[in-house]
Amino acid sequence: MNAKIDPWSSTNILNYSKLFEDFGIMPFDSMYSRIDNPHRLMRRKVIFGHRSYEYVLDAMQNNEPFAVMSGFMPSGRIHLGHKMVMEEIIWHQQKGADAFVGIADREAHAVRGISWEKCREIGINEYIISLIALGFEPSGHIYFQSRSENVKDLSFELGSKVNFSELSAIYGFTGETSVSHMVSAVTQSADILQPQLEKYGGPKPTVIPVGADQDPHIRLTRGLGHKMNMFKIEGREDKDGNRYFSIRSKAAPQEALEELNSIIPGNTKLFEGHLDVFEVDNFEKLLKTVRDVELRYGGYAFVPPAATYHRFMSGLQGGKMSSSIPESHIALLEDPKDAAKKVKRAKTGGRISLEEQKKMGGEPDKCSVYELLLFHLIEDDVELLQIREECITGQRMCGSCKNLAAERMEKFLKDHQEKREIARERLDEYYL
């Protein structure tokens, strides 16, 4: 794996465990046992990693405000990979999240050269209608980057906190990279932080469901959110080894520190530019107090955004699924019967001959057809496990799996496309 991840390339990630080591992504396993009625992508470890998801989970379990946000670049047909992200957004919305979906037309225009009119056409007809058909409720927020004053204003503010060197280190930008491309990256940070604006209730844990290739956007945004905040809280130790917290001003007026000094209970000591706090028994309460004061003085008090990361789907013919290779993916708008034929032509994890398959068993972890069942087409874990065991032990042949997946794919697409027609009639319920 390269030292950088490029969110605009078609490079496949072959070693997910390296992401833990190289980029600080945490395994999702430790979160799973705490989640009530987890999504199948969580149960099946398709969602493999996270950043700071524990804060989102705490808010979810304590009925406190939290948000979910992700976006889609309107550059081509919507396919099963997009469906995964949409399902994660909808699951969090059903768990109580304030849900945001951005159509990244600024990115598509800057990076792909797609006209604004085409961006809107693709955004609505491909992505938004399918999102609604899959179950996204009108209580959520759907918007286009180019039409969101919140996003445009916030991206301008964020742009003052980042320079070319930092963007180059994260994305690999060079002197040949257009300024609009760089602006589109900062705009995505504004997308991610928008749910925490005062208009939407202020700072709150916010999760961004993404593929691992989008992690550069998460890292950039977490850094920018920190830079935008007025205060920094540091854990320190005095000469006698006693622990305390120092609230240090980055952009806050001295009056804000004076107010903190007056309302934080216990032993405090005020200095020019910082406030030391001793005998803290509840750090989360202290953090909330600091955020509340920052908001009163016109700051943002952003909570570092969380993220979940899911594995990529394989292409139907092997390798990475690509929107530019029709035979590698299944689009949500293609003819259901044609999609079924694609499934029947897909690469499997079967052996060379029927005799070898019965003797040695198949390899479901190398099978794009089993992956369709795992990611999308079977909700029942017991049924999926039975298919897997029958494959591994040589009791099940590839033809039966292909027929099952083709039948269910055809049924899903037919059902989804019927729901899309209903969703189209409901567009006026959503602000666009």
- Per-residue pLDDT of 152-197, as tens digits, reads 999 999 999 999 999 999 999 998 999 999 999 999 999 999 999 9
3, 22 contact by CB (below 8 A): yes
Q: What pLDDT does residue 8 have?
A: 38
Partners of 249 in beta bridges: 231
Question: What are 268's strand-pairing partners?
Answer: 277
pLDDT at residue number 362: 86
Burial track 317-330 (b if 16+ CB lie within 10 A, e otherwise): eeebbbbeeeebbb
SS3 107: helix
For residue 281, the model assigns a pLDDT of: 82
Percent of the chain with pLDDT over 90: 77
Q: Which two tokens stand for residue 154?
A: 């916030």
Please, are residues 66 and 206 in contact by the beta-carbon 8 Å criterion?
yes
Contact 153, 196 (CB under 8 A): no
Predicted local distance difference test score (pLDDT) of residue 121: 97
Write out the DSSP string of 251-270: S--HHHHHHHHHHS-S-EEE
Tell me, what's the pLDDT at 329? 87
pTM for the model:
0.91
- 149: tokens are 């004053």
Task: Kindly list the distances between the CA atom of residue 333 and the CA atoms of 105, 256, 312, 339, in Å, as whole numbers in the listed order.
Answer: 21, 55, 20, 10
Task: List per-residue pLDDT tens for the chain, 432 residues long.
Answer: 344 544 434 444 455 566 666 667 899 998 988 999 999 999 999 999 999 999 999 999 999 999 999 999 999 899 999 999 999 999 999 999 999 999 999 999 999 999 999 999 999 999 999 999 999 999 999 999 999 999 999 999 999 999 999 999 999 999 899 999 999 999 999 999 999 999 999 999 999 999 888 899 999 999 999 999 999 999 999 888 889 999 999 999 999 999 999 999 989 999 999 999 998 888 889 999 999 999 999 999 999 999 999 998 888 887 767 666 777 789 999 999 999 999 999 988 877 778 888 888 888 988 999 999 999 999 999 999 999 999 999 999 999 999 999 999 999 999 999 999 999 999 999 976
Tokens of residue 201, six digits: 């209730």
